[in-house]
Amino acid sequence: MNGARLLIFVGALALGFTSCKRPEAPRRDVMMEAIESLAEVVDAPMAHAKQVYDRYCSVCHGLEGKGDGFNAYNLDPKPRNFTDSSFVARVDSGLIVETITKGGGAIGLSPVMPPWGRTLSESDIAAVALYVRRLAQSRAGLEHP
């Protein structure tokens, strides 16, 4: 008799446990996880700036801003290396915008850098200037910890 009661008790206990579901695991946001590594694509203004930079600037300054574009060999003085730490420390966005807009010749540097003020819009130039700074900071940060 006692044995039967014990059996019922244990059975009820087991039933109780099964109904205590584990709390559900948090649901995954699959797409958001997948695009985390695509920051440059997702950040629309930066992606646009990169497009403009790659198209107009990388020919001489290189895709990574190291001053090593395919046309660099032909130029004297050599194109600016944006990842040079002295450049990052010295130059502000205003000057970058001015250089891009008016060209090197107009601000006392070499005329090898042409003026882009009549080719690119003001907002494109501002975006590229920001991109150049970001390029400079991130790459310089990597190379000079």
Partner 1 sequence: MQRAIHLSGIVLLVSFVTILMDDFNQEWKQIQTRFAHIEENRYHSTSESDISFNSGIAQIVVEGLGKIDRCPTCHLGVDDIKYRNAEPPFQTHPGQLLETHKSKDFGCSACHLGQGYAVSYDKAAHRKLEFWNETMWPRPLMQASCGTCHRSREVSEAPLLTGGRLLISEKGCTGCHDIDEFFEEGNRGPNLDGIGNKVSEGWLYAWLKNPRDYLKASRMPSYRLTDPEILDIVSFLLSLDGKSDPPHAVTAQSSNPGRPDSGAVLVSESRCISCHTIHGRGGRLAPELDRIGDKVRREWLPNFLRNVHYYQPEKRMLEYNFTDRNALDIAAYLMDEFSEGAYVLPDEGDVALAPKSLSRKEEQLKRGLKLFVKHGCGGCHSVGTQIKPPKVGPKLSNIGNRLESVLDFGSRRDIRPTLYNWLFMKLKQADVFDSSAAMPNYYLTDEEAFEITVALLGNKENQYATEYLVSEAQNSVYKKPSGEFGELFERYSCISCHSIDRYGGTLSTVPLTMEGSKVKFEWLRHYLIKPFALRPVLTERMPRFRMTEREASLMADYIKRVYVSDEIPRFFELELKPEEVALGRQLFRSLECVNCHIADGAGGYVGPELDNTGNRLEAGWAFKWLLDPLKYKPETIHPDFGFTELEARQLTAYLMTKRRDHR
Contact residues: partner 1, CB under 8 A: 24-25, 27-32, 34-35, 37-38, 41-42, 44-45, 47-48, 51, 55-56, 59, 70-71, 74-75, 103, 111-112, 114-116, 118-119, 123
**Nearest approach, Cβ of 29 to partner 1 (angstroms)?**
5
Q: In 10 A of CB 126, how many CB atoms?
A: 18
CB of 131 to partner 1, least distance (A): 14
Residue entry with tokens 């009549």: 118
Label residue 78 exposed, middle or buried (CB < 10 Å: 0-12, 13-18, 19+). middle
Q: For 55, how many CA atoms within 13 A lie in the half-sphere containing its CB?
A: 12
Distances (CA, A) of 106 to 10, 50, 92, 101, 114: 90, 25, 17, 9, 10
Least Å distance, CB 2 to partner 1, is 43
| 50 vs 133 by CB, closer to partner 1 | 50
Instruction: Enter the tokens of residue 37.
Output: 């590594």
Nearer to partner 1, 29 or 142 (CB): 29
Q: Rounded to an integer, what distance in angstroms lies between the CA atom of residue 47 and that of residue 89?
A: 25
**CB closer to partner 1 out of 46 and 85:** 46
